[in-house]
Amino acid sequence: MKIAAVYSIKGGVGKTASAINLAHCAANSGLRVLLWDLDPQAAATFYVRTKPKLKGGVEKLISGKQDMSRVIRSTDYQNLDVLPAEFSYRNLDHILEEEKRTRLRKVLKPVRDDYDLVILDCPPSISSLSEQVFASADTLLVPIIPTVLSLRTLEQLNAYLAEIDLDVPVWPFFTLVDRRKTLHKDVMESLKQDYPLQLSGFIPYSSVVERMGIERKPIGTFSRNSSPAVSYRSLWQEIGQRLSLLKEPTVASAPAAAKAAEAESTVTAPQGAATGKASAKGEATSKPAAKPASKEASSKPAAKPAGKAASSKKAPSTDKKPASKDSASKDASKDSSKSASKSAAKGKKKGGNLGD
Ligand SMILES: Nc1ncnc2c1ncn2[C@@H]1O[C@H](COP(=O)(O)OP(=O)(O)OP(=O)(O)O)[C@@H](O)[C@H]1O
Ligand SMILES: [Mg+2]
């Protein structure tokens, strides 16, 4: 089970939009995905049409006394479950102050055989919660609007990680991109030089993303061929491959994401923005390694699922999900991912591999 946190110090940069759409893309790849909404605003919970209600409250969840099967909900999407937020999450910082740094990861231990990927939608802050996120995640996916101030927050994040001696890989990517703006172009270019771990895929500014609030659905379900839908699929391919959850694409051609983004925001995509082969519908594909759990799947997990599929049946969003039993086996993939990326993770270091 890999943990990817969508995190930024800055508010309103597209964390939740990215968490939802990447989670949906990953689930469509046939991976079993849990989206954990860590923000008391509960926006991610809202987007997947789930009640912002956590049985027993957040304190019980963090203490490990809560049965995960009582709090995890299925969504309307195959392979995608959600651990909803509620307003009591505002106390999370306080609760975590007394805990060891890896508490968040421990909370997920009972379900680690049930999911291939956990995506954390984080609130915008630097706090006890974010420190837990940094210590627990296999990667930080950091959305950045191409502005100088946004870049500054990335610098601050890297400085902070160095200060607290945590080496989680930081993978920035651009959102709300409008390359008609010279500033956006310049900022994107400058980051590419300084951060080799930057993801090459980016998300254009588009009213389609804003429509998510009305539709309460991932973009891929209501505007499948739109520029942001294609861009999120492409971005997911890149992330899935870096996390060794997807295999390399067989053909690196037909940059559908770049074309779509170009059409919408006159963007010239960065090199490699579309790393996957594009299907007739513009979906990036990876070479499969296993039979997909989803019939919509375009690519498949590299490893055979470790346990019973947590979301093998489509169920109403209010259904309870069964939690798996505790497993004694160590999650070795996290360790290898972390150690391999150690030297490259603390910010502006040149020439690192991609954190796998
Ligand atoms: N690519 C995009 N194009 C246009 N609008 C976008 C894009 N991405 C996000 N938005 C809009 O920007 C607003 C903020 O997005 P989102 O809620 O995802 O940000 P956030 O970083 O999670 O915010 P917060 O810090 O408050 O949690 C939303 O109204 C969303 O619809
Ligand atoms: Mg948010």
Q: How far is CA 183 from the centre of its chain?
A: 27
Rg (CA), the chain: 19
Which residue, 141, 189, 144, 36, is CA-closest to 354? 141
143, exposed or middle or buried, with CB in 10 Å at 0-12, 13-18, 19+?
buried
Nearest CA to ligand 1 atom 11: 210
> Is there an atom of ligand 1 within 6 Å of 176 CB?
yes
Closest by CA to 298, choosing from 1, 23, 30, 107, is: 30
Q: Can you tell me the distance from the alpha carbon of 342 to that of 356, in angstroms, rounded to the nearest whole number?
A: 10
Tokens found for residue 201: 């895929």
Distance CA 337, CA 316 (A): 35
Ligand that comes closest to the CA of residue 226: 1
Tens of pLDDT along the chain (356 residues) come to 999 999 999 999 999 999 999 999 999 999 999 999 999 999 999 999 999 999 999 999 999 999 999 999 999 999 999 999 999 999 999 999 888 888 999 999 999 999 999 999 999 989 999 999 999 999 999 999 999 888 999 999 999 999 999 999 999 999 999 978 888 888 888 887 788 899 999 999 999 999 999 999 999 999 999 999 999 999 999 999 999 999 876 544 334 554 555 444 443 333 333 322 233 333 334 433 343 333 333 333 444 333 333 343 333 343 334 334 333 333 433 433 333 333 333 334 332 332 22
Alpha helices in the chain (DSSP H): 15-28, 43-47, 57-63, 68-71, 92-97, 103-107, 128-136, 148-163, 182-194, 207-210, 212-215, 219-222, 227-242, 256-265, 332-341
Ligand with the closest atom to the CA of 15: 1
Amino acid identity, position 340: A
Cα gap 291→300, rounded to integer Å: 7
Please give the number of the atom of ligand 1 that sits closest to the Cα of 122.
27
Residues comprising the chain, all counted: 356
Best residue among 22, 38, 90, 176 to mutate for probing ligand 1, ranked by most atoms within 8 Å of CB: 176
Q: Decide: 72 and 34 in contact? Cβ < 8 Å.
A: yes
In angstroms, what is the span from residue 130 Cα to ligand 1's centroid? 19
Tokens representing 109? 């231990």
What's the pLDDT score for residue 156? 94
What domains are defined for the chain?
Answer: 2-324 (3.40.50.300)
Do 30 and 297 form a contact (C-beta atoms < 8 A)? yes
**Strand segments (E) across 270-334:** 277-278, 284-285
The ligand 1 atom at the shortest distance from the C-alpha of residue 41 is 27
Give the C-alpha separation, 296 to 16, whole Å. 23
Question: What is the SS3 assignment for 80?
Answer: strand
Cα–Cα distance, 95 to 312 (Å, whole number): 34
User: Global pTM?
Assistant: 0.77
Ligand with an atom nearest the CA of residue 145? 1
Q: What is the structure's pLDDT at 248?
A: 73
Burial class (CB in 10 A: 0-12, 13-18, 19+), 49: middle
